[in-house]
Amino acid sequence: MSSATQTLFGQSSGAGQHHMMGIHLQRSWILDLITMTIVLPILIFGTQIFKLLGQEEATANSGGYISLWMIPFCYSYVFAITIQLYLQAQLKNMIVAWLSAIQLVNDILLSLLFVLVLKLGVAGAMLAYCLSSWFVVIEELIYVFGGWCSNTWKGFTVAAFKDMVPLVKLSVFSCVMIGLELWYSGVLALLAGYLPNAKVTISAFSICLSINTLEYMICLGFLDAACIRVSNELGRGNVKAVKFAIKVLLGTSIVIGGFFFVLCLVFRNDIAYLFTNDERIANAVVDLSLLLSFSIMLNSIYPILTGVAIGAGMQSSVAIINLICFYLIGVPLAALLGYLTSLQVKGIWIGMIGGYIAQTIALSYMIWRTNWNDEVKKASERLMRFYVKSDENSEQISN
């Protein structure tokens, strides 16, 4: 849902409406906190939901136990992700990078303490995860409230409660767009859980997803960069800069993706041992390594296109594309190849790649056909719809 405010942050910054960024930030907190509370039962009753879906009891119990630990993390994410997007839209990327680096160090140290020293197991790992996530939220809040964002943060204001309906609509489409993409791999992991020898299958599938996600984090940075550049330039009304930014970001990301594609192929026989010592799981990962390499290559393309769409406020169109490509093409193809052929987990991964290929083609066509002059007009209309005069600051209830 925060990608809705990501659009507004970037376009407001580009248009010089700096005071609106703080108002958008507060609106996102209000909306995300309400939404998080509404969906809380999904995490509370995780075990029961997994069992209802037919998962093995051990898997269901483990997943449900971890889902309870995810509650404090998810509430921290309400603030962490929105403030991060707020800072990035102001080109304060170094601050975000340093805070993320501190979070990584905290996470490692706390994990070592709780898991290896205090022997708390999964509970220790999740406790470290939650604490490190809240530490970075506190650091972000100190930075925002401490005066380092004086142009965009003018204090809490009642204006944040106004014009929520348009934001809800944009946020819902954003939620559907991002949610369908994030849930896609989860649905496929769920399918893998029904295959024979589920423990090995899920372990291998999860390791490959972890490797894919690690590389995807780099491309996620390009996604944010694409969103920021496109939204900033649309706010300024600079169409040429939008087109140039798309070309540069795509070219750079593809080169990096190609490097990791080759790296994954070269170390295909050893990469699994970073995660496990089980020969069966390692062999299953080797079988998936070629498909994993192609997934990593695709990572360098579709996130950039998604970032461009977010920057332009095209969340509703991307939501439809994701629904069709992932759930009408990818999931059925994965189920077909996984259950009705001898490919099993490889078939599920092929289905996943099929969904991403379809999404990439659809997004490429949509962006190629986009009239960016029209998008500049739409951006201007969107900013005026959410605009609050700067003298509204007289209504601030605190500083």
Same domain flag for 288 and 196? yes
Same domain flag for 45 and 123? yes
How sure is the predictor about 396, in pLDDT bands with cuts at 50, 70 and 90? very low
Same domain flag for 77 and 111? yes
Backbone angles phi, psi at 150, to 5 degrees: -65, -25
Same domain flag for 190 and 225? yes
At residue 58, does pLDDT exceed 90? no
Same domain flag for 217 and 318? yes
> Would 9 be classed as within a structural domain?
no
H-type alpha helices, the chain? 2-14, 19-38, 40-44, 46-52, 57-89, 93-111, 121-143, 164-192, 198-236, 239-266, 279-299, 302-312, 315-322, 331-340, 345-368, 372-386
- pLDDT reported for residue 1: 84
Contact 7, 227 (CB under 8 A): yes
Contact 4, 315 (CB under 8 A): yes
Q: CB-based burial of residue 42 (10 Å sphere; 0-12 exposed, 13-18 middle, 19+ buried)?
A: exposed
> Would 186 be classed as within a structural domain?
yes
Q: Supply the range of the domain harboring residue 70.
A: 19-151
Whole-angstrom CA distances from 210 to 32, 207, 213, 228, 296 are 27, 5, 5, 27, 11
At residue 220, does pLDDT exceed 90? no
Provide mean pLDDT across the span 89-107: 91
Same domain flag for 263 and 196? yes
At residue 76, does pLDDT exceed 80? yes
CA–CA distance, 224 with 308 (Å, rounded to integer):
9
At residue 398, does pLDDT exceed 60? no
Cβ-proximal residues to 308 (8 Å cutoff; 6+ apart), any chain: 226, 227, 230, 246, 367
pTM, to two decimals: 0.84
- pLDDT reported for residue 3: 81
DSSP class of residue 391? Answer: G
Whole-angstrom CA distances from 202 to 205, 223, 345 are 5, 28, 9
Higher pLDDT among residues 307 and 391, named by residue: 307
Q: Angle of helix 57-89 relative to helix 121-143, nearest 10 degrees?
A: 10
At residue 399, does pLDDT exceed 60? no
Q: What is the pLDDT of residues 110-124, one digit of tens each?
A: 999 999 999 898 899
Same domain flag for 190 and 335? yes
CA–CA distance, 251 with 151 (Å, rounded to integer):
34
CA–CA distance, 10 with 142 (Å, rounded to integer):
22
Same domain flag for 118 and 179? no
Same domain flag for 209 and 111? no
Q: CB-based burial of residue 392 (10 Å sphere; 0-12 exposed, 13-18 middle, 19+ buried)?
A: middle
- Looking at 88, 117, 151, the residue that finishes a domain is 151
> Would 207 be classed as within a structural domain?
yes
As for how many domains the chain has, the answer is 2
CA–CA distance, 341 with 344 (Å, rounded to integer):
7
> Would 356 be classed as within a structural domain?
yes
Percentage of residues of the chain with pLDDT beyond 90 = 57
Average of per-residue pLDDT values in the chain: 89
- Looking at 105, 123, 151, the residue that finishes a domain is 151
H-type alpha helices, 300-344? 302-312, 315-322, 331-340
Same domain flag for 379 and 320? yes
Diameter over CA atoms, the chain: 68
Contact 26, 4 (CB under 8 A): no
> Would 396 be classed as within a structural domain?
no
Q: What is the pLDDT of residues 158-209, one digit of tens each?
A: 888 887 888 888 889 988 998 898 899 889 888 887 888 777 888 888 899 8
Same domain flag for 378 and 300? yes
Contact 129, 73 (CB under 8 A): yes
DSSP class of residue 118? Answer: S
Same domain flag for 131 and 273? no
Provide mean pLDDT across the span 29-48: 94
Contact 290, 203 (CB under 8 A): no
> Would 187 be classed as within a structural domain?
yes
Q: What is the pLDDT of residues 240-281, one digit of tens each?
A: 999 999 999 999 999 999 999 999 989 888 888 888 888 888
> Would 29 be classed as within a structural domain?
yes
- Looking at 151, 181, 196, the residue that finishes a domain is 151
> Would 7 be classed as within a structural domain?
no
